[in-house]
Amino acid sequence: MQYYDMPVEKHPLREGVRDNTNHYVTGRDGGRDIDLRKFAVEGMELYGRLEDLRDGRLHFTPNLGANLDDADDTYHRINASIDGFIERTGIDAPPGGVYEPSWQPAHERTTLELAGSGITSIIWCIGFTPDFSWIDAPVFNGRGYPAHTRGITPVEGLYFIGLPWLHTWGSGRFSGIARDADYVAQAILGSLRERTSSFDTVAA
């Protein structure tokens, strides 16, 4: 579908797409979806967003159902775009199935007592948010994100690489990092050549 080749300026959301959360999949066993609802059926306990830890008790926002529905909507949109591409290009492919949610939260628990639940260890794996506050340069927008074009900023000598949608959706993945790195490296090399040329001219 060449979606990984679409530059950010041609995406319908433009730079706003950089704020989107990626869908969750796995490459295990040849690649498959990760269905949190299926995990719940198998016994995993799901909660909404973790807000606080007070007096040995975790507190959650009651937004589990909404989060699961949002994830399903993303899944449906991706499948619809794939089905549309298959239809437009005439690819001979088996019809896709319709996802039916296998589990719904009957009620959302907003607290969890660690000791009473027998929990002795916590694996904290919630991802991270980039922090560029240590960079003192006028290249950031109102949300603290660097303004750049394919990793090249208006400040001479300041470049970025590896950011989500640096240029395409593949920029934050192994599939696109080499192309981005080559582009930025060529820009740096061109800048160095210009600087050397200017120095030689002055010296002459």
Q: Kindly state the average pLDDT of the residues 199-204.
A: 61
Rounded to the nearest 10 degrees, how much is the dihedral formed by the CA atoms of 60, 61, 66, 67? -50
Quote the pLDDT of residue 109.
93
Q: What is the Cβ-side half-sphere exposure of residue 138, based on CA atoms within 13 angstroms?
A: 1
pLDDT above 80 for 192: yes
Residue 111's pLDDT band (boundaries 50, 70, 90)? very high
Confidence check: pLDDT of 199 > 70: no
Q: How far apart are CA 159 and CA 149, in angstroms?
A: 10
Three-class SS state of 74 = helix
pTM confidence score? 0.70
Token pair in block for residue 26: 């796995």
For the chain, give the mean pLDDT: 88
Percentage of the chain lying above the pLDDT 90 cut: 50
The H or E element containing residue 60 is strand 57-60
Instruction: Grade residue 24 by pLDDT with cuts at 50, 70 and 90.
Output: low
Residue 142's pLDDT band, with cuts at 50, 70 and 90, is confident
State mean pLDDT over 145-163: 93
Reported as type and span, the H/E element at residue 26 is strand 25-26
Distance CA 34, CA 71 (A): 11
Over range 85-104, report the average pLDDT: 90
Confidence of residue 204 (pLDDT cuts 50, 70, 90): low
Q: Residue 194 — pLDDT band, cuts 50, 70, 90?
A: confident
Do residues 173 and 5 lie in contact, with contact meaning Cβ atoms separated by under 8 Å?
A: no
